[in-house]
Structure 1
């Protein structure tokens, strides 16, 4: 039974009569409660990102740009401040760019947020804006476009990924997939990246099985990916502890690990949820394909390697409070790790699948230049 994932809505957004209305699904309450939280001002968007009410690199970017749209159109205090600006359109732009800089402080590792802010800044700079209204309208219009584009890009990622996997694995019942973290509709504006590949395989009746790692300490796999898998009746689902991946693959078998990405460097090194690196080592040792599925905007050619990625560290309580550890125990709680390019089979984007060249290396810069 296939499903297009449209019933899993990570947010709602509308813009009518000059006013934006925006809510996000509180993913901290899932899977037991479905609660939407209103985003009334830019601080609400920042907090939703920082507190991980919403997460997933594509969704972080979308929530930031829509939060900015709400701030500029519907926050009475900000609208009043904009009305009081007397320095012309350049002063309005400066005001808006300061808001963008604030949003970029919410979380540091996922490049999608920074790319989205730069894209929006370019729209404001290059548009034929002669008034405050022009600047605001250009932002809201492009924010809505980015929302729609994210869904279409994700579907293209799913299609390219399914094509590639089915070309590599020809079992009549399809492909056995393992994934980590949450990369579905709940991590994006809709459809998903890595889980979107599984969704497309399912639509073609070629998803043989899917296993999700629980993804400690925040349990995005057990709370969110398992929720999506069950909601969509994916075949032969299985939830496993992060430490069970090797045993699961040996006992049950797998054709491909498909994971998401928060940043892909020029050499193909990839930052993703903590635990991804060890999964890639297991996959390589056991002869299982390891694919990264990510939007084109996740490719960061300004960073030569993963050594240059800033890895966010989360508060110790996020691990300690859920682990049963004694009070006062010290811990280390990075939110992400870096998978070296050597462990990656291919990088799936909406532009196509990036594979290694004859030298065994990824040419991310060339891929970006070709498709930009």
Structure 2
């Protein structure tokens, strides 16, 4: 695999999704042509990852418009269907952003919506390549190492989580292309094993050396001096740089701070939510209890025991060494916040 795996594409009448629930056992696709099926696919993680969800949300509006015409919906029912797509998962801001971006095109018809959704997809692929290059440049400049690097990553932020190439894994791919990766520690990522099932699959397909480790092993790996840098993705980034990512990320961040190695967050600028001042305002999705109380359909916890299953945690900005987007690198822990960067860009634009 070259990193150009097609996670999501419009076929002309439906949205074709690479079904990530089937990996790594087999590669299969789901063709989605109605809102109920799309919302279910998003919630079941057939499609997942903040950038990919943004693209899915945009095409989801096209699906809703087509279904409304096919089934004779009135405007209120169409609006309700679009809202269901927008709210299918609450933490990743890209889903709502994708929907919101194409909404002004609904009055022009489904073709206009599809064209704008395709633009979002194309922009994501280009942006991911830029993220990879900026991130690799920054890491090599900061570490100054003249040897291949040992990289740790958490969850999946590769081609499968985007429209193509990847964010955090895009940085790893770029480093690998330059001959600068010795090994990647891929955290298994509880409870659905996106690291073991998806990240390891992507790295293996790309010929990048990797090992899978339990989430609980990650801080020890870092503190033992076995990793040079940790690179993770993000589902929402607050204006002050607080970062929501898959549960377990904050443990990685704390270990990086203790060991004195960089924690790099790689994400498109669309993942930055300037309307959210800090991490306390980021909604945290809680997943079904069965994901942690059962395994392979069999219950693994006592029958009377419940579950607490947050899908994400929030890493404070002070622990984020660098935020890499398609526009460059912000050294967040040193005070370069997204809100400040946006303000500078606005001033520059007015000039």
TM-score w.r.t. the length of structure 2 is 0.92
Secondary structure at the aligned position of 1:228 is classed as helix
Give the match for residue 261 of structure 2: 288
Aligned counterpart in structure 1 of residue 316 of structure 2, from 337, 340, 347: 340
Q: 1:26 to 1:62 in 2, by over 3 A?
A: same
Give the match for residue 71 of structure 1: 64
Residues of 2 paired with 1:31 and 1:327: CA distance? Answer: 31
Residues of 2 paired with 1:314 and 1:271: CA distance? Answer: 15
Residues of 2 paired with 1:57 and 1:135: CA distance? Answer: 26
Shift of 1:327: 2.5
Aligned counterpart in structure 2 of residue 114 of structure 1, from 92, 96, 99: 96
Query: Is residue 2:73 matched to residue 1:137?
Result: no
Aligned counterpart in structure 2 of residue 215 of structure 1, from 189, 199, 205: 189
Give the match for residue 193 of structure 1: 167
Do the aligned residues in 1 keep the contact of 2:320 with 2:332 (CA within 8 Å)? Answer: no
Do the aligned residues in 1 keep the contact of 2:285 with 2:311 (CA within 8 Å)? Answer: yes
Give the match for residue 87 of structure 2: 105
Secondary structure at the aligned position of 1:332 is classed as coil
Aligned counterpart in structure 1 of residue 277 of structure 2, from 290, 304, 309: 304
After superposition, the CA RMSD in angstroms is 2.0
Query: Is residue 2:15 matched to residue 1:22?
Result: yes
Secondary structure at the aligned position of 1:212 is classed as strand
Query: Is residue 2:335 matched to residue 1:361?
Result: yes
Residues of 1 paired with 2:135 and 2:110: CA distance? Answer: 37
Give the match for residue 241 of structure 1: 214
Residues of 2 paired with 1:371 and 1:47: CA distance? Answer: 38
Gaps of 5+ in 1: 86-90, 125-131
Aligned counterpart in structure 1 of residue 301 of structure 2, from 325, 344, 367: 325
TM-score w.r.t. the length of structure 1 is 0.87
Residues of 2 paired with 1:356 and 1:181: CA distance? Answer: 21
Larger radius of gyration: 1
Residues of 1 paired with 2:314 and 2:222: CA distance? Answer: 22
Aligned counterpart in structure 2 of residue 13 of structure 1, from 10, 14, 18: 10
Do the aligned residues in 2 keep the contact of 1:157 with 1:193 (CA within 8 Å)? Answer: yes
Do the aligned residues in 2 keep the contact of 1:178 with 1:257 (CA within 8 Å)? Answer: yes
Shift of 1:266: 1.0
Q: 1:255 to 1:28 in 2, by over 3 A?
A: same
Shift of 1:244: 0.8
Do the aligned residues in 1 keep the contact of 2:158 with 2:202 (CA within 8 Å)? Answer: yes
Gaps of 5+ in 2: 347-351
Do the aligned residues in 2 keep the contact of 1:39 with 1:67 (CA within 8 Å)? Answer: no
Secondary structure at the aligned position of 1:210 is classed as strand
Do the aligned residues in 2 keep the contact of 1:26 with 1:34 (CA within 8 Å)? Answer: yes
Give the match for residue 31 of structure 1: 24
Secondary structure at the aligned position of 2:265 is classed as strand
Give the match for residue 88 of structure 1: none
Do the aligned residues in 1 keep the contact of 2:219 with 2:251 (CA within 8 Å)? Answer: no
Post-superposition Cα deviations, 1:210-238, rounded to whole Å, max 9, x if no partner, equal 11101111111011101111111103x11
Give the match for residue 81 of structure 1: 72
Residues of 1 paired with 2:46 and 2:184: CA distance? Answer: 25
Post-superposition Cα deviations, 1:25-72, rounded to whole Å, max 9, x if no partner, equal 221111102121110112211111111122111111111212322333
Aligned counterpart in structure 2 of residue 62 of structure 1, from 55, 58, 76: 55
Give the match for residue 267 of structure 1: 240
Aligned counterpart in structure 2 of residue 253 of structure 1, from 218, 222, 226: 226
Do the aligned residues in 1 keep the contact of 2:223 with 2:258 (CA within 8 Å)? Answer: no
Secondary structure at the aligned position of 2:24 is classed as coil
Give the match for residue 180 of structure 2: 206
Do the aligned residues in 1 keep the contact of 2:62 with 2:110 (CA within 8 Å)? Answer: yes
Do the aligned residues in 1 keep the contact of 2:241 with 2:332 (CA within 8 Å)? Answer: no
